[in-house]
Amino acid sequence: MQNAIDAISEQLIGETFEKCTFSSPRNKSGEIRSVVINAISNSLEITVELRLQKHNDIKTILKKDFLTKELPEYLQQFKQCLVKSEASEIQILLNKKMTSKIIKSVNKNEVNKKHNRDKNYLIPDGEPCPFLVAIDVMDKSGRVKSNHYKKFRQINRFLELVNDLYRDQELSEFHAVDFGCGKSYLTFALYHYFANIKKIKIKITGIDLKQEVIDHCNEIAEKLSFDQLHFAHGFIHDFKTDDPVDFVVTLHACDTATDDAILFSLRHKAEKMMFVPCCQHELNKQLKNDESSILLKHGIFRDRMTALVTDTMRAQLLEVCGYKVQSMEFISLEHTAKNILLRCSKIERDSKKTEELLQNYLTFKKQWNIEPYLEKELSSGKFI
């Protein structure tokens, strides 16, 4: 048992200790069901929770050096103990003879942190970033919170994709619009990139349908002194601006809302765009292909094929309109199936190539028996 005491004591006095749980009581009819020991942030103290079988938990506070004296008693009462720290997890199993088996594993969050430190992120882990602190992704010391690592990686992935577009460009000022901005993690990231990394004069407008979210984002922007970052309530097709638009972002705008963002971008002659489409319902009922009928008869296959046909249609029409379109994975499929990003840059094309692209689109359209909203609007607006 001494090995178990030493292993637990070493963790308890460590700065990265988080939690220790004693479970599986030897006396199942006893009053105590488990004992949970939690670290108190920025303190040398811990809380001890005695979780009872029938009554409310009892909590006391003990100094760590006092607690080590109680360890033999806890280990005699319980068959298992799990100790968690930032770096590792230790599981201790004790048999009837009080012989211990100790199993140690590396904490996955620590692996993620090391990966993020090693990776050359535009926003590194370990260095305070005011907007990440404000949106609760980072603590004030610059450490990414363990439950926000996915969001942290998503933000950096987004900035990598933006940086690929603008890394070598010399800009004096810049205006971007983010449609369907939601909680605006990426909108704040975009402002940070241009204002603090590229160090140019930047103006960004975020648009969303939830007024409470818009109000909250405006409050954060004001606290951060992001003076040229504004959020507004409304639909994409209702948004008006007299300012030139350089860049349009739309992430997970539902169904034809992505098409409305594309139309806005074309009307305002935006040089670059980034779209992550979502919920492609419009073409689902239209989709018909005699040679692929067995694929389309299954609902889940039809949904996925609809998404691919919809995004292929958008990419081809954008190429007809004079853009280079790159399709790529935005984030891992383990987070969301809606992970295809279309990154678009305005280029010069001769009329012959444009006509070829248009004919390819018309063949594709006929193949799948579709009449997309985007094509109709582009035709009426004389974009194609």
CATH number of the domain within which 355 lies: 3.40.50.150
pLDDT class of 79 with cuts at 50, 70, 90: very high
Task: Give the C-alpha distances (Å, rounded to integers) separating 127 from 151, 178, 212.
Answer: 16, 27, 30
Q: Which of 323, 329, 295, 324 is nearest to 309 (CA)?
A: 295
For residues 242 and 314, the answer to whether their CB atoms sit within 8 Å is no
* pLDDT confidence bin for 333, thresholds 50/70/90: very low
Domain range for 90 is 2-106
DSSP code per residue over 206-219: EEES-HHHHHHHHH
Question: How is residue 170 written in tokens?
Answer: 């010399």
**Boundary of a domain, candidates 63, 83, 106:** 106
Residue range 56-81: mean pLDDT, rounded: 75
Q: For residue 90, is pLDDT > 60?
A: yes
Same domain, 77 and 148: no
266 pLDDT above the threshold of 60 = yes
Together in a domain, 196 and 281: yes
Domain end point (choices 58, 77, 106): 106
Domain identity same for 227 and 374: yes
Total tally of structural domains belonging to the chain: 2
List, for residues 172-200, the tens digit of each pLDDT value: 889 999 999 999 999 999 999 999 999 99
Indicate the pLDDT class of residue 112, thresholds 50, 70 and 90: low
Rounded CA-CA distance 187/156 in Å is: 12
pLDDT at residue number 351: 94
In a 3-state reduction of DSSP, which class is residue 16? coil
Angle (CA) 187 193 194, round 5°: 95
User: Is residue 360 assigned to a domain?
Assistant: yes
Q: Considering the chain, what percentage of its residues have pLDDT values greater than 90?
A: 57
Together in a domain, 68 and 163: no
Question: What are the respective helix, strand and coil percentages of the chain, to the nearest 5?
Answer: 40, 25, 30
For tokens 């020991």, what's the residue?
A: 37
8-state DSSP, 65: H
Confidence of residue 96 (pLDDT cuts 50, 70, 90): confident
* 366-379 mean pLDDT: 96
Q: What is the pLDDT of residues 292-328, one digit of tens each?
A: 899 999 999 999 999 999 999 999 999 999 999 999 9
Please list, in sequence order, all residues whose beta carbon lies within 8 angstroms of the beta carbon of residue 123, skipping any fewer than 6 positions away: 129, 132, 152, 155, 156, 159, 189, 192
Q: Is 116 inside a domain boundary?
A: no
15 and 152 fall within a common domain? no
Please choose, from the candidates 162, 154, 204, 143, the residue with its C-alpha nearest in 3D space to the C-alpha of residue 15: 143
174 and 293 share one domain: yes
My answer on whether 62 and 171 are in the same domain is no
pLDDT tens-place string over residues 24-56: 998 888 888 888 888 765 455 677 788 877 666
Asked if the model's pLDDT at residue 341 lies above 50, the reply is yes
Residues 76 and 222 in one domain: no
